Structure 1
Amino acid sequence: MSGLKLPARLRMDGARAAWAQMSPALRAEAAQVLAAAGREVRLSASALTDFDSSALSLLLSAGRQCTEQGATLKLDDAPEKLLELARVYGVAELLWPTSAQSV
């Protein structure tokens, strides 16, 4: 499976740098997944402990980038606080389209 992981800290002051690192990795991972006849790019959020709403922006951008390449982003092991933040901002369904309530 994928080795893509979110960092432990993802706040406004580091979001641009995190995206600069993540975007090419996502692009490469999507290309590998699609070449193997897959469709799902997996991203682990298990290490994410210190974050703000910029994490949601980064995740939405990641999802959009995957979609543009013909893949879907699957976020694994999201902390409950991230799920709640996504619900408050009204984007939970965009990040977890299958069942935002049960994630």
Structure 2
Amino acid sequence: MLVLPDEMTHAQAPACCRMLAQALRSDPSTHAVADASALVRFDSSVLAVLLDCRREALALGKTFSVSQLPPKLRELATLYGVSELLPPAALPH
């Protein structure tokens, strides 16, 4: 599970991208899940980070989804036309 921080703006995005890419490369699982539940303060930069994670995951042969995307961020993703690239993670049974 890739855990996003509580704040993600343009200032934090590059470091977060590097950290998440490293986590993806070191995780042997075939499915990457980004946990967005902690996000409180964010701008559209988080979409770029999530899309970068998705790109990295797919390059590693993994599937990608996002858990608990805040409603405002889902709205941003829809506005930018990328919501279908950030599918919600399946809920555990």
> Residue 84 of structure 2 aligns with which residue?
93
SS in structure 2 at match of 1:43: strand
Give structure 2 stretches of 5+ with no counterpart.
89-93
Q: What residue number does 2:17 align with?
A: 19
- What secondary structure sits across from 1:70 in the alignment? coil
Q: What is the alpha-carbon distance in structure 1 between the residues aligned to residue 42 and residue 31 of structure 2?
A: 24
Could you tell me which runs of 5 or more consecutive residues in structure 1 were left unpaired when the two chains were aligned.
Answer: 34-38, 98-103
Larger radius of gyration: 1
Could you tell me the TM-score, scaled by structure 1's length?
Answer: 0.80
Runs of 4 or more, structure 1, over 4 Å off, are: none
Partner of 1:53: 44
Distance in 2 between the 1:91 and 1:43 partners? Answer: 16
Question: Which residue of structure 2 lines up, in the alignment, with residue 101 of structure 1?
Answer: none
* Alignment partner, residue 28 of structure 1: 26
CA RMSD of aligned residues (A): 1.6
Q: For the residues of structure 2 that align with 1:66 and 1:50, how far apart are their CA atoms?
A: 25
- When the two structures are superposed, what TM-score results if normalisation uses the length of structure 2? 0.88
Distance 1:13 1:59 in 2: 15
Alpha-carbon separation, structure 2, partners of 1:82 and 1:46: 11
Number of aligned residue pairs:
89
C-alpha deviation, 1:25, in angstroms: 0.7
Cα distance in 2 for residues equivalent to 1:43 and 1:57:
13
Question: Normalized per residue, which structure has more helix?
Answer: 1
Q: Name the CA distance, whole Å, in 1 between partners of 2:15 and 2:60.
A: 22
